[in-house]
Amino acid sequence: MLKKTSAESYTIMNELVLPNDTNTFGNLMGGRLLYWMDICAAMAAQKHCGHVVVTASVDNVSFKHPIKLGDAVKIEGKVTRGFNTSVEVRLDVWAQDLPSGTKIKSNEAYYTFVAIDKAGNTINVPELAPETEHEQKLYDGALRRRQLRLILGGKMQPDDATELKALFMESQKEA
Ligand SMILES: CC(=O)SCCNC(=O)CCNC(=O)[C@H](O)C(C)(C)COP(=O)(O)OP(=O)(O)OC[C@H]1O[C@@H](n2cnc3c(N)ncnc32)[C@H](O)[C@@H]1OP(=O)(O)O
């Protein structure tokens, strides 16, 4: 199957935080942000897969700074690696106070999507060809993150997570 690049799935989504998106403190609700991130990530995954995708899992997401009413939210998504029927998407989220132009990094996250056909059966996805050093790093890390999330999802035995185990062995040697 033809390999694809991260650039081919690169997706940018911009949103403006309106009153209906906020909590009683006037900050963007976490659930609303996760919803926007899911949409951005799904668009990136579909560009890569050439098929409809469903969200299989969302890794731990930390909310580093509150995002305020009236801020612009910019979400960037791109596929980091294709496996058999699933892809990992990396998201970077920025909040910008438009009048001052001040921009802060708000979140980073990884979402996993599975490609499905019209009958709902899972289908194979294209591999990813990293083009830069940074993309290669994300590609290598994707295998370890996949093993961790499959263990947590009860889909893999810890003993089978060879790359993850190797990482722990390395850090034990260094300590
Ligand atoms: C864009 C949206 O918001 S869609 C709406 C929300 N999402 C949904 O409704 C999805 C509902 N869930 C499902 O349809 C199914 O559970 C699926 C398609 C995600 C997985 O199907 P299953 O039959 O459980 O999984 P199966 O064991 O066949 O594996 C299929 C792929 O899913 C991956 N997968 C399964 N569970 C997980 C998980 N918890 N985390 C990451 N990947 C997973 C597998 O690794 C496999 O990928 P691979 O082929 O690249 O190795």
- 138-170 pLDDT, tens digit each: 999 999 999 999 999 999 998 888 888 887 777
What b-and-e string marks burial along 27-45, b requiring 16 or more CB atoms within 10 Å of the CB? bbeeebbbebbbebbbbbb
Distance (Å) from CA 78 to ligand 1 centroid: 19
- 26-47 pLDDT, tens digit each: 999 999 999 999 999 999 999 9
Higher per-residue confidence, 2 vs 3: 3
- 80-135 pLDDT, tens digit each: 999 999 999 999 999 999 999 999 999 999 999 999 999 999 999 999 999 999 99
CA pair distance 82, 142, nearest whole angstrom: 9
pTM: 0.94
Phi, psi of 102 (to 5 degrees): -65, 130
Does ligand 1 come within 6 angstroms of the Cβ of 5?
Answer: no
Give start and end residues of each alpha helix (H) in the chain: 6-9, 30-49, 133-152, 162-174
Probe target for ligand 1 pocket from 114, 122, 147, 148, with the most ligand atoms within 8 Å of CB: 114
Does ligand 1 come within 6 angstroms of the Cβ of 56?
Answer: yes
CA pair distance 157, 126, nearest whole angstrom: 26
Question: Could you give the 3-state DSSP secondary structure of residue 113?
Answer: strand
Q: Strand 103-116 relative to strand 52-58: parallel, antiparallel, unpaired?
A: antiparallel
DSSP assigned state of 155: S
Read off the pLDDT band of 6 (50, 70, 90): very high
Question: Could you give the 3-state DSSP secondary structure of residue 139?
Answer: helix
Beta carbons of 70 and 48 less than 8 angstroms apart: no
Q: Which atom of ligand 1 is nearest to the CA of 125?
A: 50
Distance (Å) from CA 152 to ligand 1 centroid: 13
